[in-house]
Amino acid sequence: MQVTFMIKDLPQIADQILLSAPFKTILFYGEMGVGKTTLIKELAKKIGVTDTLSSPTFSIVNEYKTQTDKLFHFDCYRITSEEEALDFGIEEYLDSDNWNLIEWPEKIANLLPEKSTKIQLIKNTNGSRTVKLEPMK
């Protein structure tokens, strides 16, 4: 799936992503300021999170509840080594059957599960964004 959209189209894009993503671990790639957290907030609403999401830049992971399970939002930007991620127990999160939405997954590349969905976000010159979604292989 590849779609170009404006910010006002986020609810529809989130619906498309959730219908197309084969796995509950979604990896968000893209430069700083491209809208990863904004997209994650919309996805979380669609999944059923009622709390207000905030970026876990300093805490690395935030936990949210839905009616049926949990959603974990990771921001790995500040992680300096994969060992640091292992120290806070990332494997337990990734092995759970909960939603794992991970920003800056390239920081923990060797720890990522095979059953993940990759999302590449690109900011276009006209202010729109392009999202590319593909299962990891």
Which tens digits make up the pLDDT trace of 84-122? Answer: 999 999 999 999 989 999 999 999 999 999 999 999 999
Report in angstroms the alpha-carbon separations of 127 from 35, 68, 119, 121, 122.
Answer: 11, 36, 18, 12, 10
Helix (H, G, I), strand (E, B) or coil at 73: strand
pLDDT band at 137, cuts 50/70/90?
Answer: low
Helix (H, G, I), strand (E, B) or coil at 93: helix
Place of tokens 């207000």: 52
Torsion of Cα atoms, 65 then 45 then 60 then 4, to 10° = 150
**Structural domains of the chain in order of their starting residue, each with its CATH number:** 2-135 (3.40.50.300)
Stated length of the chain: 137
pTM for this prediction: 0.92
pLDDT of residue 52: 80
| pLDDT over threshold 80, residue 56 | no
Residues 6+ apart with CB under 8 A from 24: 97, 98, 99, 100
Query: First and final CA of the chain: distance in angstroms?
Result: 15
pLDDT band at 53, cuts 50/70/90?
Answer: confident
Helix (H, G, I), strand (E, B) or coil at 7: helix
pLDDT of residue 55: 75
pLDDT of residue 5: 92
Q: What is the rounded distance in angstroms from the CA atom of residue 105 to the CA atom of residue 15?
A: 22
pLDDT of residue 54: 75
pLDDT of residue 13: 95
pLDDT (average), residues 51-62:
78
* Amino acid occupying residue 26: I
Average pLDDT of the chain? 92
| pLDDT over threshold 90, residue 49 | yes
